[in-house]
Amino acid sequence: MSLIHKIGLTLLKSVGDVTARNLLDHFGSAEAIFKADKQQLMEISGIGDVIAGQILNHHVFGIAEKQLGFIRKHRIQVLFYTDKNYPWRLKNCHDAPVLLYYKGNADLNHPRIISVVGSRRATEYGRRLCRELIAHLVPYGVIIVSGLAYGIDAASHQESLEHQIPTVGVLAHGLDRIYPALHKPIAQKMLLNGGLLTEFLPDTIPDKENFPKRNRIIAGIADAIVVVEAAAKGGALITADIANSYNKDVYAYPGRTTDQYSAGCNFLIKTNRASLISHAKDLTYFLGWDEVAVDKSSSQLEFPLALSKEEQEVLYLLKDTVMGIDELRVRTGFNQSQLAMHLLNLEMQGVLQALPGKIYRLS
């Protein structure tokens, strides 16, 4: 599929991510969308005269060609929604970006990804929690994702680098700059053990409206989101709300009732929008990571005779690991009701165990 067409699709002003995905589901590729006639385009739900006219009378390929030169020069990976290496967790989110630009070496489909967010005006309390969290996660083989902003974001990246944990920064601008500029040294180190990810083309400046878009990637790409310290308003709470809308697990550290920079965390916990964790051990317990057997790789799976072929497929996927329900749905191809039925039967047979956080493992 032509990269020019992929980039061009994101340059159509009236075509957002949801509409683009509807078009891709119907036509199969970005190139086919641009080759469609008006009648074919108008058959798609949500496509009217304005959008159809913009697709038919576009002038985006010249801009896309210019951007492609920068992408190739700086060896930027382009991850399209239909590509196999597109982050599967994010792909499950209804408004996921159609196109991502990535520079780094961390696997965005890594088995364990945690997003860490918090206040830009982090206190020593928040920084200490961040240090303890990252240090505890070292033996679990995780990737840490955050937004490269001041405060908790920068602290989580820095602590990850010091503990040699891969860490990915999600940007609200193009890969031709770093904002804030003060974090450029951190960003350069992250390229060696982690990476930088964005949906925005080069020349895109960090406008205010870009940050909520950035936050949905932070929320969608991870298994769980940890709010370390947050005031009553700000990007961390936006990220938590988005994560809740994606049915993601959200965890928050509580603070004293008089601490303004913990007011957001306390609110999330009070309103059941986040589970309370008082120590990093709580996080790995809730995620079921402490329940994994040391080594089952050499053991032979023996299935009860009553299991169907589909249920055996689920067990094979869980042979050497734990897995969340979203990943199981993607890897099996089952719809939500089918998967729920198979998981319930496997639990009743005693061969599967459900852990906190919608995580499953073999019994």
Q: Please indicate whether residue 284 or residue 326 has the higher confidence score (pLDDT).
A: 284
- Taking 60 as the threshold, does the pLDDT of residue 108 lie above it? yes
As a whole number of angstroms, the distance between CA 101 and CA 168 comes to 12
pLDDT in tens, 172-215: 999 999 999 999 999 999 999 999 999 999 999 999 999 999 99
pLDDT in tens, 268-301: 999 999 999 999 999 999 998 875 433 334 344 5
* DSSP letter for each residue of 285-345: HHTTGGGS-S--TTSPP---TT--HHHHHHHHHTTTS-EEHHHHHHHH---HHHHHHHHHH
**C-beta of residue 10 within 8 angstroms of C-beta of residue 20:** yes
1-73 maps to which CATH number? 1.10.150.20
- Taking 90 as the threshold, does the pLDDT of residue 169 lie above it? yes
The domain limits of the chain are: 1-73, 104-287, 293-362
The topology (CATH level 3) of 104-287 is: Rossmann fold (3.40.50)
- Taking 80 as the threshold, does the pLDDT of residue 337 lie above it? yes
Question: Is the domain 293-362 a CATH 2.60.410.10 member?
Answer: no
